[in-house]
Amino acid sequence: MSGGRFQDLSGGDGGVGSSGAGGAASGSRFHPAPRSDTGLEGRGVQPEGTGAGRRVLELRERTGREGLRFSGGRVSDGSAGAARGRGVRALFGGLPPRYWRVWAASACSNLSDGVYLVAAPLLAATLTRDPALVAGVSVAFGLPWMLFPLVSGALVDRFDRRTAMGVCNLVRAALVGVLGVSVLLGWVSLPLMYAIFFLLGANETFYDNAAQAIIPAVVRREQLEKANGRLFAAELVNNQLAGPPLGGFLFGMAAALPFLLGAGAYAFAIAAIFSLKGSFRPEKEEGAPPTTILSEIGEGLRWLYGHRLLRLLAVMLGVFNMMFSAGAAIFVLFAQDILGLGSFGFGVLMTAGAVGGLIGSFTADKVVGILGSGRALFGCALLSAASSAVIATSASPYVVGAMLALEGITVVTWNVITVSLRQAIIPGRLFGRVNSVYRLLGWGGIPLGALLGGFLARELGLTAPFWASAGVLALVAGAIFFFIGNRAIADARAAAEPERFAGRDIGS
C-alpha cells in the first residue's frame, strides 16, 4: 500500500498503483514512487469451448504428468533435461517471434527508464536543496498525463503503431542524450531538467498507448494474458530491480553516465521495434468521412461510456489508485517511525513489491485459467484489502514486506487481466482513444489519494491511510463479486468485433 499504481502497463499500464508491485503500464509504466510501482489493469473468459474450460484442459495438456505437448508429440518426464525444457517452454514458449521483438523493445526502454528516473532526482539534488524544486522534476514528468492522454490516444489511432513506438523512442533517446551531454559539459540546470522531463512525459503518453495497441496484432487472442504477463516481467526486472541500482551506481561514478546509458538503451529499443515487419496502422471503416481530433476524442469517450463493464473497471481502477497512493504518500514515514527502518532497510523493503509483481507476471495467466477472470479480479481486490489491514496492524518489517509482495502479485494479476480484456474487446480503430480515456479515469485519483493520505496520517496517525484503504478495497471487492463475474467478462469478449483479431499474420 505504500505506493504504486494499478495502471496499464506499457509499459504499463499499465499501467491502479500498487502499493506492492508498483504501472502503466504500461501500464501502464512503472514510475518512481515511495514504493515499487505497478498498475491495475486484463483477461476475460471466453465462451464455452474457448474459455476457462479450454484453458484448464490446455493447462493439463501442457503441464500434466505425461509431459508437455509439442507439435511433434509428447515429451516424457524421463530426464532432467526434458523437465527443464518443459519449464522453459511453459514460461516463454508459444509466443511468435514478432512478439519477442516488441518485448525486446519494451525491455530496453524500461531499462533506460529505471536508470535515468533514479539518477534524475539525484542530479536535481546536486543543483538545489529545496525539496519543492527537486520535486518539480517529478511534477514536470507527470503533468503531461493530465494534459495530453486524450489527444495522444486519438493520434495513435491515426498512425502506424510500430512507427509511433520507434519515433517515440528516437525522441526519448535524443532528450536523454541531450541531458547527459549537458551534464558532461557542465551546462545542466533545473529549468533544462524541467523542460526535458516534461517532454519525456508527453512522449510517454504516445508511446504507452501505441505499445498496448500493437500487442493484439502480434499474438493470438488466447495468448494475450501470457504476452502481457511477460511484458510486465520485463518491466519489473528492468524498471524496478535492475535499473534503479544501476542508475545509482553509475551516477556515483559520473553524473552523466546514467543518462548516456539510457540514450543507448533507447537506441537498442529503436532497432528492436523497427525489425518488426508489416503494417500496424489501424483499419479505417470504408467510406468513412474525414474527422477531426476533437470528434475522434468524443467517439472514444462515448464508446467507453457506453460499455458498462469497462466503465466499471475504469472507475474501480481510479478508486484503487487513489487508495494505494494514500498509503504511498506517507509510507516512508511509516517505515521510519512504525517499522524502525533506516534508509538502507527502506530501500530493501521497496524491492518486495517488485519481487511479488515478477511472480504475478508469470502466474497470472494460470490463475485466470483456473479461476476465470471475474473470480481472479475478486481475489485480487480481496487480498489487497486484507494486505492493507495487515500492514496497518503490524510493526514488523518482515510481515509488511510479505504483504507488499502479496500486493505485487495481485496488482500485476489485475493488470494482466484488464489490459488483455481491453485489447480483446476494444475495436482496433478506437483502441488508442478508448484506452486513453480509461487511463485518465484510472489515474485521475492518484493526486487526490496522496492528499487524502497526508490528511488522514496527520489527523489520525500513520496507520489511518492503510485502514481506510482496507475498508474501501473491501467494498470494491464486494462490487466485483456482484457486478463483474466470469459470465459478464465472457459475454463482453463474445460480443467483441470478430474482425478485431482477423487477418493478421502472427507467425513471424
| pLDDT reported for residue 431 | 85
Q: 45 pLDDT band (50/70/90 cuts)?
A: very low
pLDDT tens for 221-232 read: 888 888 888 888
Question: Do 261 and 362 have their domain in common?
Answer: no
- Return mean pLDDT, the chain: 78
CB 1, CB 324: distance < 8 Å: yes
Q: Are residues 338 and 357 in the same domain?
A: yes
Domain count for the chain? 2
pLDDT (0 to 100) of residue 315 = 92
pLDDT of residue 81: 53
Lowest mean pLDDT among 90-94, 159-163, 410-414, 497-501: 497-501
Of the pLDDT bands very low, low, confident and very high (cuts 50, 70, 90), residue 376 is very high
* Per-residue confidence band for 8, with pLDDT thresholds at 50, 70 and 90: very low
The residue-averaged pLDDT of 311-317 equals: 93
Indicate if 314 and 203 belong to the same structural domain. Answer: no
Q: Is residue 173 part of a domain?
A: yes
The verdict on whether omega for the bond into residue 14 sits within 30 degrees of 0, i.e. cis, is yes
Please state the rounded mean pLDDT for residues 412-427. Answer: 89
Give a yes or no: residue 342 inside a domain.
Answer: yes
Domain boundary among the residues 271, 295, 319 is at 295
Which of 275, 295, 315 lies at the terminal end of a domain, its last residue? 295
**Residue 78 predicted with pLDDT over 70:** no
Residue 26 is predicted with a pLDDT of 36
Distance (Å, whole) CA 175 – CA 117? 13
Q: How confident is the model at residue 334 (pLDDT cuts 50, 70, 90)?
A: confident
Within-domain flag for 36: no
Which of these, 300, 285, 309, 317, lies nearest to 494 by C-alpha position?
309
Is there a contact between 127 and 255 (Cβ–Cβ < 8 Å)?
Answer: no
The secondary structure element, H or E, covering residue 102 is helix 97-127
Give yes or no for residue 12 having a pLDDT over 50. Answer: no
Give me the domain span that covers residue 189: 97-295
**DSSP assignment letter at 17:** B
Q: 306 burial class (0-12, 13-18, 19+ CB within 10 angstroms)?
A: exposed
**First vs last Cα of the chain: how many Å apart?**
41
Q: How confident is the model at residue 220 (pLDDT cuts 50, 70, 90)?
A: confident
Exposure on the CB side of residue 340, measured as CA atoms within 13 A: 4
Q: What is the DSSP letter of 25?
A: B
Q: Is 182 helix (H, G, I), strand (E, B) or coil?
A: helix
Report the pLDDT value the prediction gives residue 157, as an integer from 0 to 100: 85
User: Are 291 and 208 part of one and the same domain?
Assistant: yes
Residue 79 φ then ψ, to 5°: -145, 160
Length of the chain: 508
pTM of the model: 0.67
**241 φ/ψ angles, rounded to the nearest 5 degrees:** -100, -45
Least confident of 297-301, 304-308, 326-330, 444-448: 444-448
Q: Mean pLDDT across the stretch 147-156? A: 86
Return d(Cα 308, Cα 323) in angstroms, integer. Answer: 23
Inter-CA distances, 183 with 81, 259, 356, Å: 50, 9, 36
- Residue 50 confidence (pLDDT) above 70: no
Mean pLDDT of 263-292: 84
Secondary structure (DSSP) of 119-166? HHHHHHHHH---HHHHHHHHHHHHTHHHHSHHHHHHHHTTS-HHHHHH
Q: What share of the chain in percent tops pLDDT 90?
A: 33
- CATH code (residue 429): 1.20.1250.20
Residues 285 and 324 in one domain: no
The answer, yes or no, to whether residue 281 has pLDDT greater than 50, is yes
Asked, for residue 58, whether it belongs to a domain, the answer is no
Mean pLDDT of 87-100: 72
2 within 8 A of 457, measured Cβ to Cβ: no
Q: How far apart are CA 31 and CA 12, in angstroms?
A: 10
What is the tens place of the pLDDT at every residue in 464-478?
999 999 999 999 999
Residue 31 vs residue 445, higher pLDDT: 445
Residue bearing the bigger pLDDT, 72 or 361: 361
pLDDT at 346 over 90: no
Single-letter amino acid, residue 54: R
pLDDT tops 70 at residue 365: yes
Confidence of residue 288 (pLDDT cuts 50, 70, 90): low
Question: Ramachandran region of residue 130, left (φ > 0), alpha (ψ -120 to 50) or beta?
Answer: beta
Residue 28 lies in a domain: no
pLDDT, residue 55, reads: 38
| Least-confidence region, from 21-25, 162-166, 218-222, 376-380 | 21-25
Among the three residues 295, 330, 361, which one is the final residue of a domain in this structure?
A: 295
Q: What is the DSSP string of 246-257?
A: HHHHHHHH-TTH
Residue 259 lies in a domain: yes
Lowest mean pLDDT among 97-101, 193-197, 274-278, 492-496: 492-496
- Between residues 345 and 105, the one the model is more confident about: 105
Q: Which CA distances in Å does 30 have to 18, 136, 331, 500?
A: 10, 19, 17, 28
Residues 276 and 138 in one domain: yes
Q: What is the pLDDT of residue 498?
A: 55
Whether residue 467 lies inside any domain: the answer is yes
Same domain for 214 and 273:
yes
Say what the pLDDT of residue 392 is.
Answer: 95
Name every residue whose Cβ is closer than 8 Å to that of residue 201 and which is 6 or more positions away in sequence. 140, 141, 142, 143, 144, 145
308 and 288 in one domain?
no
In a domain, 484, yes or no: yes
Q: How confident is the model at residue 353 (pLDDT cuts 50, 70, 90)?
A: confident
Contacts of 153 (CB under 8 A, 6+ apart): 209, 297, 300, 432, 433, 434, 435, 436, 437
328 and 225 assigned to the same domain:
no
Contact of 4 with 328, CB cutoff 8 Å? yes
Could you give the CA distance from residue 201 to residue 139 in angstroms, rounded to a whole number?
10
Range 48-67 average pLDDT: 36
Number of H helices, E strands in the chain: 20, 4
pLDDT value of position 379? 95
275 and 333 in a single domain? The answer is: no
Instruction: Enumerate residues 6+ apart whose C-beta is below 8 A from 226.
Output: 94, 95, 219, 365
Top-confidence residue, 393 or 49: 393
Listing DSSP states for 456-479 in one string gives: HHHHH-TTHHHHHHHHHHHHHHHH
pLDDT for the residue numbered 85 = 53
- Indicate whether 336 and 289 sit together in one domain: no
Same domain, 311 and 421: yes
